[in-house]
Structure 1
Amino acid sequence: MLKKALLIFILISCSLLSGCELALFDPKGPIGEQAKDLIILSVALLSIVIIPVLFMSVYFPYKYRKSNDKNEYKPKWEHSTKIEVIVWVVPCLIITALAVATYITSHTLDPRKPLGKSEDTLTIQVIALDWKWLFVYPEQQIATVNEIAIPVDKPVEFLITSDTVMNSFFIPRLGSQIYAMAGMENRLNLMASEEGIYRGMSANYSGFGFAGMKFKTHAVNQQGFEDWVNKVKTSPIVLDEARLGELTKKSKDHQVEYFADVDPLLFKKTIEKYTGVQNGK
C-alpha cells in the first residue's frame, strides 16, 4: 500500500512539473553556470539532512506503531552517544561547507565584478517603470522598452535604477538578479555564451501590472547586434520629455518600443530626481 501511494505521488509530481521551465538549471552564460553549481551544491548538502528526516518521519511511526509488538520496549532509554555524534557533527560539517561555498561565491559572483576590460564591455542603463523596463544604450544613443540585444561572448554591464517603486531585474538563464531602487544605482555584470532569446522579468512584486513586466533578451553575434542597433535607429520616434512622460504613466503588458534618439543624461537625471541634486539640495 505504501509503495503504491509513493508511486502515485511521484507520477502526480512529475506531471505537474512537466510544464515548468527550469531556467536556472539551463544557464546560457558563465554567471548562470556558477549560480547553478551553487544551487546544486547547496541542495546536495541540505539533502544529507532532509532525506533521512523525511524517511524517518515515515519509518519511525510505522515501526513503532501500537500494533507492532515485535520490537523491544525500552521506556527508560534516554541517551545514545552515536546519535549525539551524528546530530551534532553532521550539521556542523554541512554548515562549514556552506560557509566556505558562501564566502567563495560572494566574491566570484559579486554582481559588480567586471567580466572583462572596460573597453570591451557593453553598457546598458536600465530604468524600472510602472510596469515596464526602459533600456538606454548610451554608446549607441538609442533606447528601447521591454527588449534588449547583446552580443554573444561580450561582457555586459547593466546600470540599474528605478523611476518608481522597488523592482528586481532578473534574466534567469544568464544568472543573478539585483534590485532596482529609486535614487540609487546598482550594477550587474552578465554575459551570454550562446545565441538565443532569453526571458527577462521583474522578480519583485510591484503592483497589479507586475505579471506583465517582462522583456526579451536577444543574444546574437556581433553582426546581428549591429543590425539590431540599426533597426532601432530607423525608428521615427525619439525619447523626448513628452514621450518619457507617457512612459512613466502606469501601463500593463506594455508593447516593445524603439527610440532612435535619447538624452544621454537620462539615467543620471532619473537618479538625481530622487536624491535632490537637480533641486540644489
Structure 2
Amino acid sequence: MIQKWLKWLKVLPAAIFAVMTLAGCENYVVLQPKGPVAKTEYDLIVFTSLVCLGIILVVFALLFYIIWRYRDKPDNKAPYQPEWDDNKTLEIVWWSIPIVICLILGYSTAKTTYALAKGTGLHDSNKQAVTIQATSLDWKWLFTYPDDKVASVNEVVIPAGVPVKFELTSDAPMNSFWVPSLGGQIYTMPGMSMGLYLKADKPGVYYGSGANFSGEGFAHMKFKVIAKPENEYKQWVAQVKKSSPALTEKGYETLSKPGLTDKAFYSSYPNGLFEKIVKKNGGDFYKMHHMDTYKTHPDFGKDSEKDENGGSEMNMDMSH
C-alpha cells in the first residue's frame, strides 16, 4: 500500500506542471478583472479556493497520518474494544469544523453578493451611475439608454470609470447577461427586470455574451462592451443621434422576431419601450424590488399615471 502511494506521489508534480502549462494556453478573462465588481468577485473566488485548498491539504495530511500511524504491525498492542461505538468529543470536533467553514464561506459570499447588488463601493466619486437597459431577444441583444434616448444592438458603449447600472429583461426565452472581465452574470427573464452594476476601470473593448441556452442561434448572442473616456462617450451619443435612424415600433416588431442580426445603432426609440416589454410579459416594472431608486426620481410614476388616464399608452402590438 505504501509503495502504491509513493508511486502516485512521484507522478503528482508532473501532473501539476502539466496543468499549469496548459493553463497558459487559454485567456481566462474571468481571472483577469478589469473593474471593481470583477475584482471583488475575483477576490471572493481566490478566498474560497484557498479555504477549500486548506481543507483538502488538511484532509490528505490526516489521511496519510492515519494510514501510517494506525497501520497493523506485528507488535501492535492496541486494546480490543468491540463495544466502542462513538466519542462525543471527536464527534463535536468533526461536525463543528465543517459547520464553521460553511458559515465563513456563506457569510463572505452573502456579504459580497448583497454589496455588489447595491453597487456598494462603486459610487466613490461624484459621478452619477449611467443606466442602460438590456433586453435579450432571439438571438440578439437590444440596449436602450434612457438617459440619452439612444439604442444599439449587439454592441454597448459605456463611459470608463463611471458606474453603470444595467436593467435587464427578456422578450424571448430566458437568457443570461455576462461580461466576464467586468463582473458576474445575471439572468434575463420575461416579465422581470433584473439589476446589475458594472464598472470598467479603463477604456477598452470587453467580451460579452448570452450564457444560457436559448435555442438555435444562442451561440451567436455575443456582444462587445466598449468603454470610452467620458468625453468620447458623449461624442459617441451625439454621433448616434446625428447619423443613425430611429427605432420605430414597427422596427422593434421586426427586430424581436427570431433571427440573427449585425450590430446596429438608433438615434431614438419608442418611449417606455423597456417598461412595455416587462409589462407585456406579465411584470410590473415599477414594483420590482431593485427599482427602488426610481421612487426618488422626479419622473417616477408619471408614465404609469398617464397610462391609467389613457394619455400616454404606447400603441405597440409586440406579439410574435
Task: Identify the residue that residue 263 of structure 1 maps to in structure 2.
Answer: 270
Q: In structure 2, list runs of 5 or more residues that go unmatched.
A: 1-6, 285-312, 316-320
Contact 2:168/2:194 (8 A) holds in 1: yes
- Aligned-residue offset at 1:208: 2.6
TM-score (norm 2): 0.73
User: What is the CA distance between 1:166 and its match in structure 2?
Assistant: 0.9
Note if 1:29 corresponds to 2:40.
Answer: no
For residues 58-207 of structure 1, what are the structure 2 equivalents within 5 Å? 59=64, 76=80, 84=91, 87-111=94-118, 115-116=122-123, 120-207=128-215
CA deviations on 1:148-203 (whole Å, 9 max, x unpaired) are 11112212111111001111112112213222111111111222212211111122
Distance of aligned partners of 1:169 and 1:60 in 2 relative to their CA distance in 1, 3 Å threshold? same
State the partner residue of 1:42. 48
Deviations 1:29-60 (A, max 9, x none): 22222111211111222222223445667x58
Q: Contact between 2:159 and 2:233, CA under 8 Å: does it hold in 1?
A: yes
Distance 1:178 1:222 in 2: 26
Residue ranges of structure 1 left out of the alignment (5+ in a row): none
3-state SS of 2:27 partner: coil
Select the structure with the greater relative contact order (CA < 8 A; seq sep ≥ 6): 1
Query: Structure 1's 208 and 19: CA in aligned 2 closer, same or farther, altered over 3 A?
Result: farther
Report the Cα offset of residue 139 of structure 1.
2.1
Specify whether residues 133 and 70 from structure 1 end up closer, same or farther in structure 2 by C-alpha distance, changes over 3 A only: farther
Report the equivalent of 1:243.
Answer: 251
For residue 24 of structure 2, the aligned residue among 14, 18, 26 is: 18
What's the offset of the Cα at 1:230? 3.0
Deviations for 1:184-225, whole angstroms, at most 9, x for unmatched residues?
111112222122111111222212322221111111111221
Distance 1:124 1:153 in 2: 15
Worse-matched range after superposition: 84-93 or 25-34:
84-93
1:20 & 1:166 partners in 2: Cα distance? 29
1:224 maps to a residue whose letter is E
What percentage of residue pairs aligned between the two structures are identical? 34
* Structure 1 residues 48 and 4: alpha-carbon distance in aligned structure 2, compared to 1, 3 A threshold: closer
Q: Is the 8 A contact 2:249 2:270 kept in 1?
A: no
CA distance, structure 2, for counterparts of residue 174 and residue 135 of structure 1: 17
Relative to the length of structure 1, the TM-score reads 0.82
CA distance in 2, matches of 1:234, 1:12: 54
* Matched residues, number: 276
Amino acid aligned to 2:154? N
Distance in 1 (CA, whole Å) between partners of 2:17 and 2:226 is 36
Structure showing greater radius of gyration is: 2
Question: Does the aligned pair in 1 maintain the 2:154–2:263 contact within 8 Å?
Answer: yes
**Alignment RMSD, CA only?**
3.3
